Structure 1
Amino acid sequence: MRYAHGIVVGAVLPFIIFMVAAVIKITAIGADATGLEMLWDIYVYWFITSIGLITLLPLIIYFVRKDIFRQFLIYEIGGFGLFAPLWLMLFTDISGDPWYSIFIAGITDGLIGFSPSGAIEGIDVSNLFLIPLLISSTILGLIFLRPSFIKKYGIKEEVSVMKKPLGTAEISKSPESTDEESMEIDMPDVNAPTPTVDSVANLREVLIELDIQEPTINLILNSGIGTTTDLVATSAEQLATISGLDKRAAENLLMAVQRKLWFSGI
């Protein structure tokens, strides 16, 4: 939501509310008792409508454009806080009373409430309550409508996670480590055991002793496994895929071969 649009929304809402209230007040000038009673009913309806308007718009935004809900709420609160005192003084002056009269005498029948009998009646707003309210409202509006405040609290932060490519690693060195403490370790090249005729024959004998069927033995040997070491290093999932055995049978076969390696001197 653009900043200018938000400011306009925050300014227009209180403008409409106080403008209609001022029109009702101006219409009441010179009216008879019946007219005053009718205008009072209109004012009561407008007072309730204003509250509904203030609360309904954010709800509509929440369900229609949830992504700008927080921004709209900040603009509405900030707009009412900053512009409501200005419109109140302006329309007080337009409706026939000096704008500064609200700071001296307050507002007569500015609010509505219920009397002990249950009837709706007007409630006066004292200047002792109105003055600090208008000052705090203006300060609150200035805070809420600051671009930095809206950016911080009105816009959802999107955290982007950068993934490192596979095969890269970072080695961190502790602050206490020094060049003297670091050492290089040369590891000798270790070659994987190479299958030979004897190792293949030896592996075949082991598998036959473990009652493995000939087709399964051929599948294992044809896969490139030519030594008992290669077979033991194979995972159960790989062996099951190679030999056609189920995973449980492959695990049992690997454990049996390992036992023969460890305890039979193979």
Structure 2
Amino acid sequence: MRYAHGILIGAVLPGIIFLVTAAIRIAGIGADPSVVSALWGIYTIWFGASIALAILPLLIIYFLRRNIFREFLIFEAGGFGLFSPIWMFIATEISGNPWYSILTEKIVDGLVGFGPDGTLIGIDISNIFLIPVLAFSVIAGVIFLRPSFIAKYGYTGELPELVDLKKDSVAKGGESVDVEMPDVHAPEPTADSVASLRDILIEHGTTDPVINLILNSGIGTITDLAATSADQLATITGQGKREAEELLRAVQKKIWFSDI
């Protein structure tokens, strides 16, 4: 999944939830009791629909594209964490109250729950409870949406291209590419290899933030970087696929012609 697409999904879902909520509250301003009662019924329905709206995309991805489920889950959780407070402030402002009022006053009937008699009732949200929740939400969102975090925890299993390569090799009677080679070991990152990798990236004109994202993702040698796909590198750095391909070509040329 492209990084920008994941960010967009994570930002839009809470926006829909809070803006519709704001529209319901705006409709109740100055309305007579019968209209307010009807709007409360609509709000309870929307409250349940909001939960379904957050869960439904996860279920769809789980059953249709399970290979990207973990990545999608991180994007959605991070998006809700980072953008929900922003949308909440916007919804409060357009509802007729100052955006900061939710930090100084409680939110009346912000949640829906069951009363002692089993009927649905509104539950107030105290600002004392809300402030730390919003702060934690933003911090968690920033952490989840870091490209290095997504690259480390968002991918599960093998790349589809590698799986297809294995199947094709076995189907043609060749040996599986998983055959153990005890005398061959993957290159281990060292201070020198990291320094060499950094030099090549700087020579290519790569900015320090992108270099740090690459190194923090676990890529510590030039060989590791050259073996990374453009899609993976784009996810790690947050760049477009074209920029990632150009960087990989520069690294590969450096490897091929380094002794000439």
Range class of TM-score, shorter chain? 0.5 to 0.7
Aligned residues: 167
For 2:42, the equivalent position in structure 1 comes to 42
Q: Secondary structure at the match of 2:14?
A: helix
Counterparts in 2 of 1:152 and 1:108: CA distance versus 1, 3 Å: same
For 1:138, the equivalent position in structure 2 comes to 138
For 1:88, the equivalent position in structure 2 comes to 88
Q: Secondary structure at the match of 1:58?
A: helix
- The letter for the 2-side match of 1:87 is W
For 2:235, the equivalent position in structure 1 comes to none
Partners in 1 of 2:157 and 2:57 — Cα distance? 24
For 2:29, the equivalent position in structure 1 comes to 29
Partners in 2 of 1:116 and 1:162 — Cα distance? 61
Q: Does 1:16 align with 2:9?
A: no
Partners in 2 of 1:86 and 1:25 — Cα distance? 18
For 2:62, the equivalent position in structure 1 comes to 62
For 1:115, the equivalent position in structure 2 comes to 115
Partners in 1 of 2:112 and 2:158 — Cα distance? 45
> Is the contact made by 2:22 and 2:91 (CA closer than 8 Å) also made in structure 1?
yes
Cα offset, 1:164, TM superposition: 7.8
Partners in 2 of 1:30 and 1:49 — Cα distance? 26
Q: For 1:36-95, what per-residue CA distance to the aligned partner results, in whole angstroms no more than 9, with x for missing partners?
A: 000000000000000011112101110011111111100000000000000000110111
For 1:147, the equivalent position in structure 2 comes to 147
Q: Higher relative CO (CA 8 A, sep ≥ 6), structure 1 or 2?
A: 2
Cα offset, 1:156, TM superposition: 2.3
For 1:185, the equivalent position in structure 2 comes to none
Counterparts in 2 of 1:110 and 1:135: CA distance versus 1, 3 Å: same
Counterparts in 2 of 1:164 and 1:26: CA distance versus 1, 3 Å: closer
- The letter for the 1-side match of 2:44 is V
CA RMSD of aligned residues (A): 1.9
Unpaired runs of 5+ residues, structure 1, are: 171-266
Unpaired runs of 5+ residues, structure 2, are: 163-176, 184-260
For 2:77, the equivalent position in structure 1 comes to 77
Task: From the two aligned structures, give the one with the greater helix fraction.
Answer: 2
- The letter for the 2-side match of 1:53 is L
For 2:7, the equivalent position in structure 1 comes to 7
- The letter for the 2-side match of 1:110 is G
The percentage of counterpart residues that share the same residue type is 58
Partners in 2 of 1:102 and 1:22 — Cα distance? 13
For 2:127, the equivalent position in structure 1 comes to 127
Q: Secondary structure at the match of 2:113?
A: strand
Partners in 1 of 2:114 and 2:180 — Cα distance? 67
Larger radius of gyration: 1
> Is the contact made by 2:106 and 2:126 (CA closer than 8 Å) also made in structure 1?
yes
Partners in 1 of 2:154 and 2:110 — Cα distance? 32
Q: Secondary structure at the match of 1:112?
A: strand
The runs of at least 4 aligned residues of structure 1 exceeding 6 Å deviation read none
Taking structure 1 as the reference length, the TM-score comes to 0.60
